[in-house]
Amino acid sequence: SYEAANTDFYLSGPTFLREAGATSATDFAAARAIADTLIQNIGGSTYQLLPNYVDNFCAPMGARGPGSYCNVATNENNAELIWSVQFTTTAGLFTTDRGNALFVQMLSFYDDRQGMARDCNNGRGFRRARPTLYARNLWQRWTDSTYTTTLDTRYDGTFQSVWLANWSNSGACFQTQGASRGAGYTVGTCGSGGLPTFGTNCTNGAAFAIGDTAIYQPGHMVGQAVRQAVKYAIYEPCNAEPCPNQTTVGQYDIFRYPTMKKWQDEARPDFNNLDGGRDVLLMRLGETYLLAAEAALGAGDQAGARAYIVTLRQRAANCGGCAAEAANRVLIVDATHMPATIDLEYILDERGRELYGELTRWLDLARTGLWHRIVADNWQASPSHGGFFNEAKHHLRPIPQAQIDLTAGGTRAFPQNPGY
């Protein structure tokens, strides 16, 4: 963890103040050397990339019952993990009265749809953050426009796309629903108020049995005919910002959008509980490859930077030994899917694909100085849309006043950052 933290520190040098005598060249070289000690297992390091991207997170798929995906406790000590903030639900050790609540922040609504009840597995949807159009379009999810073969598995390793009916399950992890929740969609329950049109002519929809698909987000347009041929809810992407607020039938909106599942915690004692026991993964070897690429690029080694990213992208093509795996490992790094010349903008995009939801983005922008990406990639931040972002102010965060008050000399000795 010391080496990983120092890699980030040295890469921050060209943007922030450095020690006297340090230069960009020496910082980039130092960052790359430290990253390589982890990547190449130098000096006793034993970290390894896991074979499949999804193996890092042990996240439920929204389709499986508690504990069925993998052993969370074992997985949180996997070979790729470098540093985490540890939480637990073990009796006698869990004493903060507030655990890791990240699992609620990035979830969309699902429990108001037919066939669905709120449960521990799918989570408590607070809707505090949702992916922008830019973020949703980062991944090259499929090999071609038929949408039949997955190419970059990192999207499905990051977002939940399917919710399976659970409405009549019982116990502390399931919110009690009446029998009407299991009924199919009818004229009175679909086709109005922004709801998608489900089922043939939206009449006499088939009932939902436990385990049936209840909600599906395919990630591409399917059309009204497909939506009417099935009994479940299909939500298509909106292809322009802002996404509608339930004004367009069957599209993403502020209530329904791809759910970021990396922190989902199915081991909570009941469906409303906020005391999550999942560890927060702060550093893993996958990010170290990207830091090494950034350092190599900064030192002028274009080929070296590309080689680090090729390794990560080929891991992203792994699909547990599926028939397309060997071909996809070649395809994902060919000229169509990866540029011959790597720049910092591309590395930032690749960080989005690899690290979405892992709490690094503001630090990445601060380190690289690519503040223009906030306005370019998030319409809500753009002043032209009434957004808030002001680079002169927001490139620094405010210092808590309590921290200033506790400092000898107060504001004169420890002034607030400009603009706050």
From start to end of 277-397, where are the E strands? Answer: 280-284
**Residue 344 or 94, more confident:** 344
Percent of the chain with pLDDT strictly greater than 90: 52
Range of the domain at 411: 396-420
Average pLDDT of the chain is: 85
- The pLDDT of residue 184 is 82
- Say if residue 228 is in the same domain as residue 307: no
- Say if residue 382 is in the same domain as residue 289: yes
| Rounded alpha-carbon distances, angstroms, from residue 325 to 22, 315, 320 | 44, 10, 8
Specify if 76 maps to a domain.
no
pLDDT digits (tens, 9 = 90+) for 174-201: 999 999 999 887 766 665 544 555 555 5
- Say if residue 155 is in the same domain as residue 26: no
- Say if residue 405 is in the same domain as residue 305: no
Specify if 119 maps to a domain.
yes
> Token pair of 237, please?
């992407």
- Say if residue 134 is in the same domain as residue 40: no
Integer Cα distance of 180 and 186 in angstroms = 11
**Residue 338 or 383, more confident:** 338
- The pLDDT of residue 65 is 39
Integer Cα distance of 52 and 58 in angstroms = 11
- The pLDDT of residue 16 is 40
The model's pTM:
0.90
C-beta of residue 268 within 8 angstroms of C-beta of residue 276: yes
pLDDT digits (tens, 9 = 90+) for 298-352: 999 999 999 999 999 999 999 988 999 999 999 999 999 999 999 999 999 999 9
The last residue of a domain, from among 212, 241, 272: 272
pLDDT digits (tens, 9 = 90+) for 16-68: 433 445 568 889 999 999 999 999 988 888 999 999 998 888 755 443 434 34
Specify if 23 maps to a domain.
yes
Specify if 93 maps to a domain.
no
Specify if 48 maps to a domain.
yes
Integer Cα distance of 344 and 412 in angstroms = 38
Q: Is the dihedral of CA 138, 12, 28, 80 positive or negative?
A: negative
- Say if residue 165 is in the same domain as residue 267: yes
Quote the number of domains for the chain.
Answer: 3
- Say if residue 216 is in the same domain as residue 117: yes
**Residue 17 or 256, more confident:** 256
In terms of phi and psi (left: phi > 0; alpha: psi -120 to 50; beta: otherwise), the region of 160 is: beta
